[in-house]
Chains A and B, each alone.
Chain A
């Protein structure tokens, strides 16, 4: 435990300061392991398919949330997609200005109807249009870690 410090008298009232000293460590999981392996080693974005419910899950999901079947069939959804929505973000988590502003997009991949959120790059915010075609820009192979940031961003094509 970090030592709790003493009353904050400047604020005119007594308060104790403290923290919760934890680091969260998230495993990619069983389905995630395969997803990130393909991302890192093969520049592929994989999904899992439930044929009964006609749903593709990207990133890969171990099970279909609708019918609860375990999903074994994987599909390469390709690294291009269609911009479904976007935002231009001018502030960070602490409300500080971000310069240049960051562009985030919701991208529908291939023909899958599966959507993922990622950054957009090599594009002026004034040129952004819903429906525009975008493609993944990959981190170079030696820089990849098996994380979602192995894709640097998506850019218009």
Chain B
């Protein structure tokens, strides 16, 4: 039985109760520093980015070219067969216009994250990146976009070697 109006356990506090120390509490900042290895596929992908290239991997059994690249095909569970250099253009699969940061602070200039299907990869295979040099209101699904790269001297083998994608 759970009727409306029944009194349940659970005591709601306000931020004020912490600020004024009306309730006892402790805090702790866990020391969580990680170094994530890039591994085989990602290491190669990042080297490609440094050279201004987008690389995918191809599975000949499933006839699939995927990006981000991986060493195994999750459909047939075999090793991928070869590297494929893809174009640095693609189409917008979906996008958002985001006005807040992860800790809910307002952004003055909204960000436009998008999934971009990369030309040369199989249909629907895309990556997450940002769009810029575009009025957010003008962004459409299916819009053609191209990577805007950092100057070669500033590239460091990072997804950020592509500054953003812009419409073409």
Contacts and interface: CB of A to CB of B under 8 A. Distances in A.
A27 B21 CA distance: 11
Interface stretch (B22-30, B67-75, B82-90): B22-30
A145 B31 CA distance: 24
Interface stretch (B35-43, B92-100, B142-150): B35-43
A28 interface: yes
B46 A19 contact: no
Given A1-B102, A6-B158, A23 B35 contact: no
A67 interface: no
Contacts of B36: 15-18
Main secondary structure on A side of the interface with B: mixed
Contacts of A16: 35-36, 38
Interface in A1-48: 1, 6-8, 11, 13-20, 22-28, 30, 32-33, 36-37
Nearest to A32: B24
B156 A7 contact: yes
Nearest to B47: A14
Contacts of B26: 25-26, 28, 147
A110 interface: no
Contacts of A6: 156-158
Interface in B94-125: 102
Give chain B's interface residue range (CB within 8 Å of chain A): 20 to 34
Contact of B38 (A14, A18, A23, A145): A14
B153 interface: no
Contact of B33 (A13, A17, A24): A17
A1 B104 CA distance: 12
A36 B27 contact: no
A146 interface: yes
A33 B32 contact: no
Give chain A's interface residue range (CB within 8 Å of chain B): 20 to 34
B35 A28 contact: no
Given A6-B156, A32-B24, A22 B30 contact: yes
Contacts of B33: 17-19
Interface of A: 1, 6-8, 11, 13-20, 22-28, 30, 32-33, 36-37, 93, 145-147
20 contacts: A7-B46, A8-B35, A13-B37, A13-B43, A15-B35, A15-B37, A15-B38, A16-B38, A17-B33, A17-B35, A18-B34, A18-B36, A20-B30, A20-B32, A24-B29, A25-B26, A26-B27, A27-B25, A28-B24, A30-B11
Interface of B: 11, 13, 18, 21, 23-38, 42-43, 46, 102, 156-158
Given A16-B38, A26-B25, A146-B24, 9 more contacts: A19-B33, A20-B30, A23-B28, A24-B27, A25-B27, A26-B26, A37-B24, A93-B31, A145-B21
